[in-house]
Amino acid sequence: MKLIDPTLLRSQAYVNGEWIDAEGGETFDVVDPGTGEIVGRVADVGVVETRRAIEAADAALPAWRALTAKRRSDVLRHWYELLMANTEDLAQLMTHEMGKPINEARGEAAFGASFVEWFSEEARRAYGEIIPSHDPSKRMMVFKQPIGVVAAITPWNFPLAMITRKVAPALAAGCTTVVKPPEDAPLTALAAAELASRAGVPAGVFNLLPTSEPAPVGEELTTNPIVRKLSFTGSTATGKLLMAKAAGTVKNVSMELGGNAPFLVFDDADLDAAVAGAIASKYRNNGQTCICANRLYVQDSIYDEFSKKFAEAVAGLRVGPAIDESTTVGPLVNDKALQKVESLVDDALSKGANALTGGKRHALGRTYYEVTVLTDVTPEMRISAEEIFGPVAPLYRFSTEEEGVALANDTPYGLASYFFAGDIARIWRVSEGLEYGMVGANTGLISAVTSPFGGMKESGIGREGSHEGMAEYLETKFVCIGGI
């Protein structure tokens, strides 16, 4: 891996403005999933370093929250500019550490930076209000103040954007942060911390703790009373555990958890547009996104035609090394991910599903899996209930609009959903009927820095992005002044 700026390849934890080793000198390897090459060896911290980071964040909090909103905005703007100036190196890091195709990685680098830009602007808009008083001798006001020290735990599939989407609004609000990046992909996060330091983010305001043993670090972040807010992106099972631990000190929590996104194609849809939308949603990042299409429901009368068009288009996707410019689907992140995808497909095939294309490990070896389309999938198959997180699209049939919506909603999850239809009345009805925090109508791409990101039911609590993302890090304080 060659970087334009080799100093962005960091190997230590970042605590209180300093790069530090683990207390006992422990490290862990970061491995390129496509080649098996070790691309980094990173400090493996634990509870001692986590407490030190929390205390540093607490000590830095008074000065950071006392800064004017304009000053915090200026610092964040500088960080954004440095992220953009180093887009290529950030893309190289994430491609090598977690297998994202290089062109997608460049897109994520810019997307991650956009959150810093957006919240640098939102820093100036944390408005309060004056309430008309019921008593002429009193004045009533509402202030918006930073929550305090924020802990963030982020996933590997978007190693930059998932951090900036949490840290940028927290810093804009006047909070300080302690972040545990993913063990599979810490290098991009460490580079972002280096750029934050260069941008003038003060010591202790942004701390980063790489570890191969997330449980002890997570335990400290969720139970330490200094931490007043926890923001987590990851599986629903882990989120429930973290929420339970955070309850001991009644922390404010934001949870962006698992999904089981439906993708419905109605008989009045533009089939070519639906095929393109399904591919964009399903196979981006090799199907390793929490909002990618997980269950594709196609109305009976167009099922065969759509299946044929979709399988032909999917067969044209190029599986290959993530660093190659022509690659559209790279490797899965690790062996465990590969084994899960293989197990889900094998289970479906054994129970009567058919593979129109793909259906097995790729000839490239390592963690590569063929882009796959399955037909005749039924609710009894494991793939119907579990998040796939791989390049596999299972197709189901439905007959009526009511049945399609009911099937889409038949899950404990409610993060993202998609549908393609032509009739405007149907578009309104289905948009309102889907029990999901986000709905894409006639599009397979829905994420934007300006829009609220989050789910219903067991897919999470709270929203990220948009002006709502800033509100997650602000406390509402009411002040009543008497004797006027």
> 49, 108, 175, 290: which is the annotated catalytic residue?
290
Q: Are residues 279 and 332 in the same domain?
A: yes
Cα 232 to Cα 153: distance, rounded to the nearest angstrom: 5
Residue 313: what pLDDT?
A: 98
What domain range is 140 assigned to? 6-257+459-480
Q: Which of 97, 220, 256, 464 is catalytic?
A: 256
Average pLDDT score over the chain: 98
Examine the residue annotation and report whether 256 is marked as an active-site residue of this protein: yes
What's the rounded Cα separation, in Å, for the pair 450 and 151? Answer: 23
Q: Tell me the two tokens of residue 279.
A: 């591919």
Nearest residue to 219 (alpha-carbon basis) of 59, 48, 61 = 48
DSSP one-letter string for 282-337 = HHGGGG-STTSEEEEEEEHHHHHHHHHHHHHHHHTS-B--TTSTT-SB---SSHHH
- Give the pair of three-digit tokens for residue 438: 């986000």
Q: What single-letter DSSP state applies at residue 156? A: S
Q: Are residues 465 and 398 in the same domain?
A: no
Asked whether residue 10 is domain-assigned, the answer is yes
pTM to 2 decimals?
0.97
**283 and 387 belong to one structural domain:** yes
Same domain for 402 and 470:
no
The pLDDT tens digits of the residues spanning 48-90 come to: 999 999 999 999 999 999 999 999 999 999 999 999 999 999 9
For residue 235, tell me if it sits in a domain.
yes
pLDDT score, position 430:
98
Active site residue 104: no
Question: 249 and 331 share a domain?
Answer: no
Cα 317 from Cα 124, distance rounded (Å)? 44
8 Å CB contact between 150 and 177 = yes
Per residue in 389-439, pLDDT (tens digit) is 999 999 999 999 999 999 999 999 999 999 999 999 999 999 999 999 999
Mean per-residue pLDDT for 439-454?
Answer: 97
Mean pLDDT for the stretch of residues 167-184: 98
Are residues 159 and 119 part of one domain?
yes
**pLDDT (0 to 100) of residue 153:** 98
Interval 179-228: pLDDT, tens:
999 999 999 999 999 999 999 999 999 999 999 999 999 999 999 999 99
Q: List the one residue out of 192, 182, 44 whose CA is nearest residue 116.
A: 192
- Closest CA relative to residue 356, chosen from 414, 310, 409: 310
Tell me the two tokens of residue 466.
Answer: 């948009």
Residue 322: the pLDDT is 98
Query: CA–CA separation, 252 vs 387, rounded Å?
Result: 27
Q: Which residues contact 254 (CB under 8 A, 6 or more apart)?
A: 166, 229, 230, 231, 232, 454, 460, 461, 462, 463, 464, 472
Judge whether 349 lies within some domain: yes
pLDDT of residue 365: 96
Q: Is residue 59 in some structural domain?
A: yes
Of the candidates 265, 289, 306, the one whose C-alpha atom is nearest the C-alpha of residue 415 is 289
Please enumerate in sequence order all residues whose Cβ is within 8 A of that of 274, keeping only pairs 6 or more positions apart, or say none.
265, 306, 420
Q: Are residues 186 and 273 in the same domain?
A: no
Query: What are residue 291's phi and psi, to 5 degrees?
Result: -110, 10
Query: What CATH number corresponds to the domain at position 109?
Result: 3.40.605.10
Let me know whether 303 and 373 are in one domain: yes
- Whether 1 is in a domain gets the answer no
Residue 413 and residue 457 in contact, taking contact as beta carbons nearer than 8 Å: yes
* Inside any domain, residue 45: yes
What confidence tier does 336 reach under pLDDT thresholds 50, 70, 90? very high
Interstrand relation of 176-180 and 149-153 (parallel, antiparallel or unpaired) = parallel
Give the per-residue pLDDT at 408.
98
For residues 307 and 389, state if they share a domain: yes
pLDDT score for 440: 98
Residue 299 and residue 40: Cα distance in Å, rounded?
A: 48
Q: How many domains does the chain have?
A: 2
Q: Do residues 269 and 197 share a domain?
A: no
* Residues sharing a CB contact under 8 Å with residue 76, sequence separation 6 or more, in sequence order: 116, 117, 119, 120, 123, 168, 171, 172, 199
Run of H or E including 116:
helix 102-122
Same domain, 139 and 286: no
Q: At residue 57, what is the residue type? A: A
Would 15 be classed as within a structural domain?
yes
pLDDT the model gives residue 466:
97
Residues 267-283, mean pLDDT to the nearest whole number: 98
Does 364 share its domain with 323? Answer: yes
pLDDT on residue 190: 98
Q: Is residue 54 part of a domain?
A: yes
What confidence score (pLDDT) does residue 27 get?
98
CATH number at residue 369: 3.40.309.10
Amino acid at residue number 113: A
